[in-house]
Amino acid sequence: MPKSNAVFNAEAKQVLSVKWKDGSTSEIPWTQLRAACPCAECANLHGDADPLRLKLAPNTHLVSVAYVGNYAVQPRWGDGHNAGLFTWNYLRELAGLLTAPQ
Ligand SMILES: [Zn+2]
């Protein structure tokens, strides 16, 4: 078994494919991934501080994914946005493998 998790940007399906070190695979749609971006800038977009900003549709074309150490991945989107760090646990959450912390 591989020693670490790996990601693969499946362009044709528009999903981020995550190969877990236990051998299983999850697919997270680009749109879901973009909507879940945990960076401060996007957290503002998700919030209700300024309702007008909610109308901005974020770019959902996943250009590339970089590894950050061994704990997270950093997607880069078609609009150049790459401020979001997705930890492996967060990706598991998005893939429905963990329940979100309360
Ligand atoms: Zn973001």
Beta strands in the chain (DSSP E): 6-10, 15-19, 25-29, 62-68, 72-77, 86-87
Distance from the alpha carbon of residue 83 to the mean position of ligand 1, in angstroms: 5
Q: Is the pTM of this model over 0.85?
A: no
Tell whether the model's pLDDT for residue 24 goes beyond 80: yes
C-alpha–C-alpha distance, residues 37 and 77, integer Å = 11
Distance from the alpha carbon of residue 65 to the mean position of ligand 1, in angstroms: 14
C-alpha–C-alpha distance, residues 25 and 57, integer Å = 29
Q: Is 1 in a helix, a strand, or coil?
A: coil
pLDDT digits (tens, 9 = 90+) for 29-45: 999 999 999 998 887 76
Residue at 47: amino acid letter: G
**6-94 belongs to CATH 3.30.2020.30:** yes
CB 18 within 8 A of CB 26: yes
Which residues are close to ligand 1, an ion, with C-beta < 5 A? 37, 39, 42, 83-84
Domain layout of the chain by residue ranges: 6-94
Distance from the alpha carbon of residue 37 to the mean position of ligand 1, in angstroms: 5
